[in-house]
A and B are shown apart, each in its own frame.
Chain A
Amino acid sequence: MEILAVFTPLLGFLLAFLFGKQMGDRGAQFVTCAGMSVAAFVSVVLFFDVVFDSDPRTIQLATWMTAGDFSVNWALRVDQLAAVMICVVNIVSACVHFYSIGYMAHDSCRARFMSYLSLFTFAMLMLVTSDNLLQLFFGWEGVGVASYLLIGFWNHKHSANAAAVKAFIVNRMGDFGLALGVMSAFVIFGSVQFDAMFEKAPELAEVNFMFMGHSVHALTLICLLLFIGACGKSAQLGLHTWLPDAMEGPTPVSALIHAATMVTAGVFLVARMSPVFEYAPFALEVVTVVGALTAFVAATIGLTQFDIKRVIAYSTMSQLGYMFFALGVSAYGAAIFHLMTHAFFKALLFLGAGSVIHAMSDEQDMRNMGGIWKLIPTTYVLMWIGSLALAGIPFFAGYYSKDIILESAFAAHSGAGEFAYWMGIAAALMTAFYSWRLIFMTFHGAPRADEHVMAHVHESPPVMISSLIILATGAIFAGALFYEPFVAGDTGGHEGLQIISHEIEIEREVEAPVVEEEHEENIWNRFGFWGESLKVLPEHDTLAAAHHVPEWVKLLPTFMGVLGIFLAWVLYIKRAGVATRIAAVAGPLHRLFFHKWYFDELYETLFVRNAWRIGRAFSLKGDKQIIDGYGPDGIAAWSQRVASGIGRLQTGCLYHYAFAMVAGLFGIVTWFFLRAGF
């Protein structure tokens, strides 16, 4: 069953990729969609199987490589965390597959597109089901490649190619950190198998690692390196620049990869490594601060953008920031919870945006939209649902997950947690604001597109809408449904449950000792649900504390959300035009936000240009002149010269030949005379 869930996408990819020509676009669509449907269905069954029976398992497939102590297997580790991820990935991916049938209907390379989607899904599944860091790295690179292929799918567009290259390169930075992290993990732990690592982590909590004469706390080092990798994939501040550009890809790609799944790989990685991160408090703090900053910065940028997809992209980045600071305050369950709800509503938003774009004849600039809500009511409603969920309006999915994150941050009672909370609140306000800015600019007001386009506006085909509806269902109900199992339950509560940890059984506010059987049966709280797949040290258990924060802390996010919507309504409906004036008044600030805090420009001057310069220098001087010049080309040219030199000696004259013989004889004889001194 596990194999079915993971490998059907691969099968779909292989069939569609290799035989795409023979089976035609229809065939390819059918094969990949069927594969994904099977996988999605199986993964739901698997989810219940694993979670309800509390039956995490690992399936060994094959030995990958063995070298000395170093031994890696291909395996599928399906525990609760992985089961959740498999479910999310497969369901969203299945929706996107179906949606693509409609969205890409006019494209000439549909089979290729579908096969890439399946390839991506497979790689993502390999990533989340791996039971060691190396296989995870394989999946990690796999999604990187698939993402590159998909962003640059419209390879006739120069900007798409540039975006693909940029995504790939920026991700390489992160991947480099990840690779270093994997290597140092092997050095410290002597293994890259998760089980072995997690078992050893507590023992190694105090170990230092000598690096270039400096003593570094080993686990912190590993965690920070891994976090750099996570930053790359999940577009955290610093390595985020690729994500908005990646919107050059077809919209289903943005939905699948750059909203729902791939960008969450970093979140998943940190959650998966939670038993190690728990022993590296400094690393957790870094995660918190970076996450908080990302949430805030991305939201500010989102305020000012005009490209509909870019707004959603920055919103994605901002939400990822939420997830990271949730991780940073050890609220892993909350992070994964938000990951899941976010996957639904963000995919919904993207696909809805895609539906709009589709309707507007591939127009992406919101300044050229407006007044179309009557023309595409279904999409309009669905966008509302998505935005409500995103803004954290009560009873939509985002409400539960975002609130618990903010509460956890507050409850952490640490400097970083406090910082994250206020950043999060600010971001929440802005989130709501730009979401409705998007809705108002797109759907309301006077139509700004030309008549030709407006005449052409139409509702998307049912195959697209139906996927949207599935996602919308998720966006509405996922929060309420999974709140209990994902995050509820606290050690101080009446249930008296506590965190599972092998070595340290510290009980806080002990009222009743742990009863193992009890939480194995009860999956309706986070301990029973997550089992051993996430690990939180008791002193870090912010989720428990989160249930006991003051009321205003709980209400503030919701209030901010409503306030944001109201502001947007005032600025874009009630007094349309005020927004531009505000932008003019707050000129420098607006410019800063609009230019994405000048990250791209900074990188351009700092790295890209210098890298070009160095690269050019190495390529022209180092490679062409020195290495090629003295190496292959030089030797080849020299060989030719030698050859023609010898050729010239071969004059054809008899006495030359005879002379050469005598000279050779003379040389040898003289050598003996000189050497032996006869």
Chain B
Amino acid sequence: MMPVFSWASLSPALPELFLVMLGMVMVLAGLSQSEGAARSLCRVAIGGFALALMMLLGVNWDSAPVMNGMFVMDHFAGFMKLLILLGLMAAVALSVRYLEQEEIDRFEYPILIVFAGLGMMLMVSAHNLLAMYVGLELQSLSLYVLAAFRRNHSKSSEAGMKYFVLGALASGMLLFGASLVYGYTGALGFDAISHALAGGKAGAGLVIGLVFLLVGLAFKVSAVPFHMWTPDVYEGAPTSVTALFAIVPKIAAMGLLMRLLTEPFGSIMPEWQQVVWVLSLASMAVGAFAGLVQNNIKRLLAYSSIGNMGYALVGVAAGTASGMGAVILYLAIYMIMAAGTFGIVLSMRRGGRAYEDIEDLSGLSRTNPLMAWTLAFLMFSMSGIPPLAGFFGKLFIFQAAIASQFYVLAVLGVLCSVVAAYYYLRVIKVMFFDDPLDALDSDLGFSLRAVVFLSIAFVLFFIFSPDTLVETSRNAAAALFAG
């Protein structure tokens, strides 16, 4: 007996459906317009994301899975999508001026971002291994293309290529894992898997299947040792795309990872905790140490993002609702800091040329004190110095780890963050104590200014009212443990 279809049953997916339509319309609009299509479509994309955001706020965040149980809209998904949409808006806002400056202002850019965003939203709502995979692929494919977007630039093409090939490998592993899980449980839906696992001891095949799934997702969150693509892609991709990479996809991948681990595989937590433990420690260590010798600020931020995902994984390893809540909060804070930081990186231009080395910031405090102070605060926040927002992210993560008795991980994590502080502080040192170079170009776009301003405002003033965000994160995480 087939369930009777009704349009109302699709309502939880309203924002996604809207984005699909938006993407299609944008393709048509882009084709019919020749000059300045990229700029206007970027604006359309921002508007569209804003509309989707409103729809998101309008839909029921407590609905049962729809589309044959493949799509779920709960508090967790809702909050993650909120972050994703905000991040996407920031990423597009940062891109507008950059695309024109680098002469890669083609209208496909916002379209690809829209589809990537759609993929991310499907990922965090996925409630079935198939849905998970297609969401992931939709997102990945868009990002591969974006990484290679500056196609007549060898580094960009190389970045796209590497990302694509390694991504394909990761997808292969993910699929293999999914097939193992399917083989051992006979189910693809998260509920069904969790049902199959309930009670009985997990078989070896299932654990190995989960390992493969984890590896596939670890690639997406760039956890060590599946991180190798990250520095190269961050460096090679156009900076606006790097900003996008740093801001949003990690949230989606991490969201998917959290849902996968807690909902279907919640009953074999001790097994996956070991894996996540190793991944997080390795990520923190590599992120901290490898960053020390980087000169390119994009590579530096790549290692920074690897390290930050390591910290986030600490919260995942804790395996508790408070741990996951801390991860969500951490991701939100990291996203905002990354947006601000990349805003500054994008404005490192002299005479119309982009500069990417840390040394290019020399003496920024004298040529452009406002920017220098902004970046300094962002760096302080990233290295987790109170009372800035970044400190609270780390604080809650390590609290959760300690509450779950992951003492070693917490201690090593703190040590890694000390090491990592070196390279954040080095940026500050270069800006404030080195001899000044020529002033940077000052014609920054309004949207970029707005993003940086909001970011720094958040970083500085988070301490005054952290409760809203903390509570929301907790609620979102609680949704994962409700079922």
A and B directly contacting (CB within 8 A): yes
Binding site for B on A (CB under 8 A): 639-640, 642-644, 646-647, 649-650, 652, 654, 656-658, 660-665, 667-669, 671-673, 676, 678
Q: Are A672 and B204 in contact (CB under 8 A)?
A: yes
Q: Contacts A639-B292, A647-B293 given; indicate if A668 touches B169 (C-beta within 8 A).
A: no
Q: Which of chain B's residues have a CB closer than 8 A to the CB of A643?
A: 289-293
B123 within 8 Å of A by Cβ?
A: no
Assuming A652-B232, A669-B211, A671-B274, is B162 touching A657 (CB within 8 A)?
Answer: yes
Residues B166 and A654 in contact, CB atoms below 8 Å apart: yes
Do A661 and B419 touch (CB < 8 A)? no
* Interface pair B290/A657, CB less than 8 Å apart: no
* Complex: chain A residue closest to B226, CB-CB: A661
Say yes or no: A660 contacts B290, CB within 8 Å. no
Taken together as a complex, chains A and B put the C-alpha atoms of A404 and B228 apart, in Å, by 91
Give the residues in chain A near B229, CB-CB below 8 Å.
657
What is the chain A residue whose CB lies nearest that of B169?
A658
10 contacts between A and B (CB under 8 A): A639-B419, A643-B292, A657-B228, A657-B229, A660-B226, A661-B166, A661-B173, A668-B278, A672-B204, A672-B271
State the 3 A-B residue pairs at the shortest beta-carbon distance, nearest first: A664-B225, A678-B204, A657-B228
Quick one: which of B165, B278, B290 contacts A658, CB cutoff 8 A? Answer: B165
Residue from A639, A643, A672 with most neighbouring chain B CB atoms (10 Å) = A643
Distance A642 CA – B290 CA, assembled complex (angstroms) = 7
Question: Which among B173, B211, B228 is the interface contact of A660 at CB below 8 angstroms?
Answer: B228
Checking A658, A664, A671 against B215 with a beta-carbon cut-off of 8 angstroms, the contacting residue is A664
- A667: chain B residues within 8 A (beta carbon): 225
Chain A neighbourhood of B211, CB < 8 A: 665, 668-669, 672
Give residues 330-371 of B contacting A (CB, 8 Å).
Answer: none
Q: How far is the CB of B163 from chain A (nearest CB, A)?
A: 10
Contact residues in B for A647 (Cβ distance below 8 Å) = 290, 293-294
- Docked Cα-Cα span, A678 to B203, in Å, equals 9
CA distance A165 to B280 in the complex (A): 53
Within 8 A of A (CB), among B169-194: 169-170, 173
- CB distance A650 to B293 under 8 Å? no
Decide if B228 touches A676 in the complex (CB within 8 Å): no
B107 to chain A, nearest CB (A): 31
Residues of A within 8 A of B275 (CB): 668
A652 to B215: give the CA distance in the assembly, Å.
21
B208 within 8 A of A: yes
Contact B225 A660 (CB under 8 A): yes
Are B165 and A654 interface neighbours, CB within 8 A? yes
Q: Residue of B at shortest CB range from A640?
A: B292
Chain A nearest CB, measured from B240 CB (Å): 23
Consensus secondary structure, chain A interface: helix
* Total CB contacts across the A-B interface at under 8 A: 78
A671 to B165, CA, bound (A): 27
Interchain CB contact under 8 A, A657 and B293: no
B45 CB-CB contact with A under 8 Å:
no
Cβ < 8 Å to A, chain B residues 223-237: 224-226, 228-229, 231-232
> Across the interface, do B232 and A661 meet the contact criterion of CB distance under 8 Å?
no
B289 touches A642 (CB 8 A): yes
Closest chain A residue to B177 by CB distance? Answer: A665
Complex: chain A residue closest to B292, CB-CB: A643
Shortest C-beta distance, B75 to chain A (Å), equals 31
In residues 129-155 of chain B, which contact A (Cβ within 8 Å)? none
For B282, give the chain A residue with the smallest CB separation: A664
Which residues does chain B contribute within 8 Å of A646, judged by CB atoms? 286, 289-290
Q: From the candidates A640, A644, A649, A665, name the one contacting B212 in the complex (CB within 8 A).
A: A665
Chain B residues positioned under 8 Å from A658 (CB to CB):
165-166, 169
| CB nearest neighbor in B for A672 | B207
* B292, A657: Cβ atoms closer than 8 Å: no
B166 close to A657 (CB less than 8 A):
yes
Measured CA separation A406–B294 after assembly (Å): 80
| In the bound complex, CA of A662 to CA of B271 (Å) | 20
Q: Cβ of B212: which chain A residues have Cβ within 8 Å of it?
A: 665
Nearest neighbor of A678 in chain B, beta-carbon distance = B204
| Assembly CA distance A342 to B32 (angstroms) | 106
Q: How far is the CA of A668 from the CA of B289 in the complex (A)?
A: 22
Q: Which residues of A contact B271 (CB under 8 A)?
A: 672
Contact of B173 among A665, A673, A676, A678 (CB under 8 A): A665
In the complex, A658 Cα to B163 Cα: how many Å?
11
Counting chain A CB atoms within 10 Å of each CB, which of B214, B275, B289 scores highest?
B289
Least CB separation from B236: chain A residue: A652
B 209-227 to A, binary, CB cutoff 8 A, 1 in contact else 0: 0011011000100001110
Complex: A519 Cα to B228 Cα, angstroms: 93
Which residues of chain B have C-beta atoms less than 8 A from A639's C-beta? 289, 292, 419, 422
A135 to B169, CA, bound (A): 73
Do residues B204 and A656 form an inter-chain contact, with CB atoms below 8 A? no
